[in-house]
Amino acid sequence: MPWEENQNSLSYVDKALTAFNEIMASSRKDMMENLNRAHKGELFVLHYLAVCNREVLPSELSAALQASTARISALLGALEKKGQIVRDIDKSNRRNILVTITEDGRNRAEAEMKDMKNRMVRIFTDMGEADTIEFIRLTRLFSGLMQKYSPQEEGCTQSD
């Protein structure tokens, strides 16, 4: 049901929230399939490590990915068995474990990022130039406002 119909009494903000929730609910199945395809978080860990390009603590991964330390530990164990990360004891503080991405892990992360880029190219091509420009404008606006009204978190960015 289009969000404009049968909602004349709602303000545009209420209508927008309803539409946004409908969009998210209808794409939840696709998102869940993508998460499963991402091997339950492995690719998120690899991407984070690839972008950071340095050793990180498991607690940093836990905070960045908003996952429990137990979940991160399981992910790191699976990735280590596959040879995509290594865990070493921190020489300056032997109580800490440092996680580093391997070449195999970096290759996997890069292949996934390339695949994502190819999908985005197809999507933007199908949308056309005008809709793509408008989408980017609105996404920037939305993202800026989300940052304005969200608590700030530390983490890796492309410039780290």
In this structure, what CATH number is given to the domain that contains residue 137?
1.10.10.10
Q: Hey, which residues does 99 pair with through a beta bridge?
A: 56, 87
Q: Going residue by residue through the chain (160 aa), what tens digit of pLDDT does each one get?
A: 454 555 556 788 888 888 888 877 776 666 555 545 554 589 899 999 999 999 999 999 999 888 889 999 999 999 999 999 999 999 999 999 999 999 999 999 999 989 989 998 999 999 999 999 999 999 899 889 988 988 765 566 555 4
Position 28 in a domain = no
pTM for this prediction:
0.64
Show the domain range for 86: 33-145
DSSP assigned state of 84 = S
- Across 109-129, b (16+ Cβ under 10 Å) vs e yields beebeeeeeeeeeeeeeeeee
Position 60 in a domain = yes
Count the alpha carbons within 13 Å of 118 in the hemisphere toward its beta carbon: 6
How far apart are alpha carbons 136 and 83 in whole angstroms?
37
Position 153 in a domain = no
Position 54 in a domain = yes
| Ramachandran category for residue 89: left, alpha or beta (phi over 0 → left; psi -120 to 50 → alpha) | beta
Position 141 in a domain = yes
Position 89 in a domain = yes
Hey, what's the torsion of the CAs at 64, 65, 70, 73, to 10 degrees?
-80
Position 61 in a domain = yes
Position 90 in a domain = yes
Number of domains comprising the chain: 1
pLDDT at residue 65, as a whole number: 85
pLDDT at residue 146, as a whole number: 86
pLDDT at residue 88, as a whole number: 95
